[in-house]
Amino acid sequence: MSIEDKVGQLFVLHVYGEQAEAVSAADAAANQAYVGVPTPAEAVAKFRPGGVIYFAWANNTKNPQQIARLSNGIQRAAAATPSGVPVMVSVDQEHGIVARIDKPATQFPGAMALAAGRSTVNAVAAGAVAGAELRAMGVQQDYAPVADVNVNPANPVIGVRSFGSDPTLAATLTAAQVVGYQSAGESATAKHFPGHGDTATDSHTGLPVITHTRAELDRIDLPPFRAAIRAGVDSIMTAHIVVPALDPSGDPATLSRPILTGVLRERLGFKGVVVTDSLDMAGVRQKYGDDRVPVLALKAGADVLLNPPVPQAAYDGVLAAVRSGEVSEQRLDQSVRRILELKARRGLVAAPYVDEGRVARVVGTRLNEAVAQRVADASVTLLKDAADVLPVRPGRSLLVTGYDSGGSVAGVAARITARGVAADALGAGTSPTQAQVDAAAAAARTHDVTVVLTSNASTSPRQQALVTALQATGKPVVQVALRNPYDIAAFPAVPTALLTYSSKDVSLDALARVLTGSLQPKGRLPVAIPAANGSTLFDYGSGIRSTR
């Protein structure tokens, strides 16, 4: 391989469009602005990248058959490059709130829902199903699972993407997911090293600082990564976070040799592929230019340079660093060899194309959906039912209101009605206006029970106003957190509280069955929930196992 070929192998780029060879005018313009050519195939020919990442916003993930066609087109373009090395196609398909590929691909509730169910069997099965479906679509690498230990309830970027606040549980389920994905031939990626769980800053928009001591890092943050390495994880993704205990320079971990080489390679013994988090995030762009960031990441110990904001500047920066001797060709070869070995190990070199006719037989099958439903059924957590409202029996009138994104309110009401309990739906948006609050309270007065859906209500004054108004009606209120479990801290007087950790269809199905008594809640809290005064409102592991 030429030096140009080798440098190309380090990069994973995004491209716009549903096909490799022909795209819409809008996608052609977007490609032209990002990579300087109009189609994904031409982007592969120009930069010879080691990988491509798919996004819904880039129009890559319309449906499974289309994804398979796009993948095959990208591989045809790679085959025509001087080296002919196949492209590793990747995606952020964590499930739950981060899922770039929608239905009919099987939709799982996500990491914290899995953790609420406490089942390693389910974690392996979910990874195996997801991995098999991605491989059928020509996607060989999933940037999952999230190995961060979410010990900060105010964390704005991780939350339910994590398996929770207990390092042992997070380690167990991280390893189980790695085994599941890779048993299906899919490369798993544990992220975000050395741990993004204790921050109140989003690294997409700022540069978080993790103040853990070395002892705290060893006890809290590193166990899931150690477990992933023991499980044979193919790759580990870096975090754009500053960790002074490991590197006092102020550089984020992505650019830190003491962290990536000193800790990850030498202390933990990781021999696989190190991939950066997206290089277009603010957390990695604050100190250095877009031409220098990839060079510094490579020097720190990274192998794969993900999603640079200006591909030409990034590519030219690395190429110049190699030609000048700042980065030796031996160092370049180390990363390229790891990347090529991974591609060969996962069968990409021998068989880069997928059978487009097989996709429908693999993706979104009834058996796969049953696995997702099993995960959701095990996750629903009942925190309290002080008024003995549950289950809601036929003959009682029920109102479903509250957070309404993607039809969740109507979806829950329809599912309850289908189980013999009359339920009316009154959505209140994602941040209810006063008129919506008043309308919901008026409707609640005419019903026996009100189910109010919330999502991150602990940071939403308008959702809090809605729940307060519903409580003031004097009618029984059942509060259901569809995302982060910390919502109940904003209204601790609510007598009945449930958690689903997800608004996926399987989670709404499980919720409706718990509300109507055909499914007993089995979930246990994967985090502790603090009260407003700093005490603990609900302990880790809380969960009532029966609705009578």
Tell me which of 333, 362, 391 is where a domain ends: 362
Q: Are residues 106 and 159 in the same domain?
A: yes
The pLDDT tens digits of the residues spanning 465-490 come to 999 999 999 999 999 999 999 999 99
* Mean pLDDT for the stretch of residues 360-373: 98
Q: Is residue 547 part of a domain?
A: no
Q: Are residues 310 and 395 in the same domain?
A: no
Q: Are residues 197 and 110 in the same domain?
A: yes
Tell me which of 302, 328, 362 is where a domain ends: 362
Q: Are residues 285 and 411 in the same domain?
A: no
- If 0-12 CB within 10 Å is exposed, 13-18 middle and 19+ buried, where does residue 147 land? buried
Q: Are residues 387 and 274 in the same domain?
A: no
User: Is 203 a residue whose pLDDT tops 80?
Assistant: no
Q: Are residues 308 and 400 in the same domain?
A: no
Instruction: State how far the Cα of 296 lies from the Cα of 512, in Å rounded to an integer.
Output: 51
Count CB-CB contacts under 10 A for residue 142: 28
Query: pLDDT grade, residue 427 (50/70/90)?
Result: very high
Q: Is residue 546 part of a domain?
A: no
In whole numbers, what is the pLDDT of the chain averaged over residues?
96
pLDDT > 90: percent of the chain: 94
> What CATH number should be reported for the domain holding residue 181?
3.20.20.300
The pLDDT tens digits of the residues spanning 119-160 come to 999 999 999 999 999 999 999 999 999 999 999 999 889 999
pLDDT for position 398: 97
Q: Is residue 451 part of a domain?
A: yes
Kindly report whether the global pTM for this prediction surpasses the value 0.75: yes
Instruction: State how far the Cα of 378 lies from the Cα of 125, in Å rounded to an integer.
Output: 14
Q: Are residues 66 and 106 in the same domain?
A: yes
What are the backbone angles phi and psi of residue 452, rounded to the nearest 5°? -115, 120
pLDDT for position 286: 87
Catalytic-labelled residue, pool 27, 92, 221, 277 = 277
Catalytic-labelled residue, pool 5, 202, 204, 280 = 204
User: Is 548 a residue whose pLDDT tops 90?
Assistant: no
Q: Is residue 372 part of a domain?
A: no
Q: Are residues 354 and 485 in the same domain?
A: no
pLDDT for position 454: 97
pLDDT for position 547: 80
The pLDDT tens digits of the residues spanning 385-422 come to 998 999 999 999 999 999 998 899 999 999 999 999 99
Q: Specify whether 291 is catalytic.
A: no
pLDDT for position 337: 98
Q: How many domains does the chain have?
A: 2
Q: Which domain holds residue 99?
A: 3-362
Q: Specify whether 424 is catalytic.
A: no
Q: Are residues 319 and 417 in the same domain?
A: no
Q: Is residue 234 part of a domain?
A: yes
Dump the DSSP string for 306-333.
E--SSHHHHHHHHHHHHHHTSS-HHHHH
> What CATH number should be reported for the domain holding residue 414?
3.40.50.1700
Tell me which of 294, 328, 362 is where a domain ends: 362
